[in-house]
A = this chain, B = another copy of it.
Amino acid sequence: MASSRCSSPDDDGYKRFTDEAQQNYGSNDPAANSLDEMGSRSSLSREVDVGNDHWGMNYHEAAIFLEEGENNEKFDSHPRHPAALPAYLLVHNNWYYGLDLIASLVLLALAVAEEPAVADFTLPVGIHGTLELMALGIITIELFLKLQWTGFSTIWKHKRTSIKAGALLIMACEALIVLIRQESHFRVTRALRPIFLVDTKVCGNVRRFIRQIFQSLPPILDMLGLLMFFVSSYALLGYYLFSDHHHNLYFKTLPDSFVSMFVLLTTANFPDVMMPSYASSKWNAIFFISYIGTVLYVLMNLMLAVVYETFTGIEKDKFRKLLLHKRKACKLAFPLLVSKQNPDGIKFKQFSGMMQYYAPRISNRDVVLIFRQLNASGSGSLTSEEFFGIYDAASLRWHLKDPPDPWFNAAWPPLRFVCRAARALVLWKYFEHIVYVLIIGNGVAMFIRIAQSAQSLEESATMFSNSWDTYLFLSIFLFEALIRVIAIGWTQYIGSGWNIFDLGVTLAALLGSLVLLFNPTFTVVVILRPLRLLRLFKLKKRYRDIFGTLVLLSPLMWSTAVVMLVMYYFFAIIGMELFASSSEALKNCCVNTTVEDFFKYSANGTTAIGYYYMNNFGNLLSSGVTLFELTVVNNWFIIMDAFAHVTNQYSRIFFMLFYLYTMVVLTIVVASVLEAFRFRIQYKRQTSKRDEEQMLLEEVRVEWNSLISQVQDSKYIDGLRTNFVPGGVTIYVGKRRRNREVLQRRMYMAEIEKWLVEDEVLDRGIDLREVAEGILDSRLRDSTA
């Protein structure tokens, strides 16, 4: 099938839904596959081919293609008719995205106000019902807008859309029923609300991460199978060995035994589960030690290894697919930007016209520079190969190669003198050393302050965060920041993350000290003073690697956090519907079970461990904390046992599923951290400082005369006079941001070429295709297996 050739990496669910689209974007007919033909037959422009705004429409469509490539959307959601354009533009709009996000967040937030509500946020049924209907209404309207140009049949064909539409329908009905009955019923469907959040534009990475989780599932499930074999075998053995011991409640029945061994898999009930048997014979320890040795130290580690291997394969494949998808977008956009006279090159006029739509915020100067950078051959028109660099080039930040003198050169002479002195000081080789010594001095002062005895906690906090030495060091640090700002200018100063950290922490500590001055009980601010010490870790290479990895990882960390929160929400809603009513029953529950002691409630809190009744599903926030405790795993079985006792034994399924879910996500998190760190280290090893500089910087040399001949638009030229030296030569430097994609592009250089060749082979309608597809398939299978 031809369509497999432009299958997008993100939205596997999407299917081409009209024959027309098939013909446009990937016909099986070899003749139709030549890029020129594709361009001239492309839907939007075809309609207006004879009109006056021929180029305008083409620019617009090319920009849409590029956007789709960037956002990793399938090209079948591309508007196929000029009449669909208004709806398309409305949907692809920051205001629209914002509204969508707000509506989905409001919908999520409602769970705080609905029964069982968080105490201070309770709302009457009428109000939260109406709010819900409003949010659902907004989302419904948005969905209708989208369907305007993708066609209503998408509801049936596109999985995500159909789930969304279904969820909308059910929720609207339920909200209406709630409003009519003026009472909440058993509404477990609320757990599906995160669907709307995940479907918003900002959550593209989250969707990809969720897909990654699903792709990592098969190996995890396999390992779980092996684990369960051992759990069951040991449960059986444990039952036969210990079930007739007195007072051994862990192995009374076979299900008890299974639960005990399942929990022991997480070590949460160790050594308690061993103790009664250990008390009857010391040799029983062998049973438990061999179990933990096999299951925990061997199999669980192998599970991590399996997931890690899968994850690494997926990461590379994801990069490959995204790259090929972007390339496809360029291939589709290219023919729209060439004239019939010159079908092999994009002229500057067309390029800048397209850029107006694709990136309206990029200045004319930058458009010129991007064009120049892309046009490596210097021919004056971009070939299709050159045009593929557009995404990378558009992300460059441009500045003059030889910047004018420091910012203060035009300043009042005495000020200029001060600035020069500051600059000399900052550039002095011992300046950094002095700063580090000061930071250490600050640390020593803190130690002394902590060691001093104080009458009360407030006094101690004041001594720590509000004494003369606090202010001394804070003012020194502020002075340091000031000198740096003067020396290198504000823009360059905040260009470094470490500087932002320094200044932020110093200002926060100052603010904290002032707060403490007026409110001595607000002792939480003591944390602000030690934070400055973190800067010391920058001194050592390994710590820089670690912080660098954290920066590389941050997008993934955000996705993970959102996925975790979304699933917390899901489980919290279900937990509340199932267990909210049992919250009070937890106090003094579970008499004669192994967890009895943990629920012995004493009103004045004299017991150290009797607080577990608080881990309930009374409202959304309590549920969140309870679920977090389950995530941490330690002692999670105490909560499970209690609910199994006060409701019924099947409630364990909820807790066990949640445990398995968190285990999966956390294993993937560990795998991703490992992968990112390893990637960074290998990158560092392969790339010298100089290589990296070369990679991150692009130099563009613009001669005024060639510029005039290239632009051919006097108005446009006039606007460039301030940026380029008329009649002379100007050199600009474009800087890449050092994100994961850029590093990956460098690391996989050799492979990229191979992928492109494979893609090229697939893209031509030649006989080789099927062979190549076979090869590719088997390779993919290998890499994902």
Q: Which residues of A contact B (CB under 8 A)?
A: 219, 222-223, 225-226, 229, 232-234, 236-237, 240-241, 243-244, 246-247, 249, 254, 267-272, 275-276, 278-279, 282, 285, 289, 292, 296-298, 301-302, 304-306, 308-309, 450, 457, 460-461, 523-524, 526-527, 530-531, 533-534, 537, 540-543, 545-546, 549-550, 557, 593-597, 604-609, 611-612, 614-615, 621-622, 625, 628-629, 632-635, 666, 669-670, 673-674, 676-678, 681, 685, 782-783, 785
Contact = CB atoms under 8 A, between A and B. Distances in A.
B450 A254 contact: yes
Contacts of A234: 527
Contact of A271 (B634, B676, B678, B681): B634
B236 A526 contact: yes
A312 to B, nearest CB: 8
Nearest to A225: B537
B308 A276 contact: no
Contacts of A629: 270-271
B614 A279 contact: yes
B782 A632 contact: no
13 contacts: A226-B546, A240-B460, A241-B524, A246-B605, A247-B608, A276-B608, A278-B614, A296-B632, A298-B557, A302-B550, A304-B670, A308-B677, A597-B608
Given A309-B678, A527-B233, A612 B275 contact: yes
B608 A282 contact: no
B276 A622 contact: no
Nearest to A549: B302
Nearest to A219: B542
Given A292-B632, A674-B308, A669 B614 contact: no
B289 A666 contact: no
A611 B282 contact: no
A673 B309 CA distance: 12
A713 to B, nearest CB: 53
A635 B271 contact: yes
A597 B605 CA distance: 14
A666 B297 contact: yes
Given A246-B605, A597-B608, 4 more contacts: A271-B615, A271-B629, A279-B614, A309-B681
B673 A267 contact: no
Contacts of A549: 302, 305
Contacts of A222: 540, 542-543
Contact of A305 (B249, B457, B615, B673): B673
A32 to B, nearest CB: 38
Nearest to A456: B244
Contacts of A530: 229, 232-233, 236
A285 B601 CA distance: 20
B270 A302 contact: no
A272 B609 contact: yes
A203 to B, nearest CB: 20
A171 B533 CA distance: 47
A309 B678 CA distance: 6
A229 B611 contact: no
Contacts of A304: 670, 673-674
B226 A279 contact: no
Contacts of A270: 629, 632, 634-635
B309 A247 contact: no
Contacts of A604: 247
Given A236-B526, A236-B527, A605-B246, A669 B272 contact: no
Contacts of A546: 223, 226, 302, 306
A372 B309 CA distance: 41
Nearest to A312: B678
Contacts of A297: 666, 669
Contacts of A460: 240
A237 to B, nearest CB: 4
A556 to B, nearest CB: 12
A677 B541 contact: no
A301 B670 contact: yes
A271 B595 contact: no
B236 A632 contact: no
Of the candidates A254, A267, A524, A622, the one having the most CB atoms from chain B within 10 angstroms of its own CB is A267
A702 to B, nearest CB: 40
B622 A677 contact: no
Contacts of A450: 236, 254
A302 B608 contact: no
Contacts of A533: 229
Given A276-B605, A614-B279, A298 B550 contact: yes
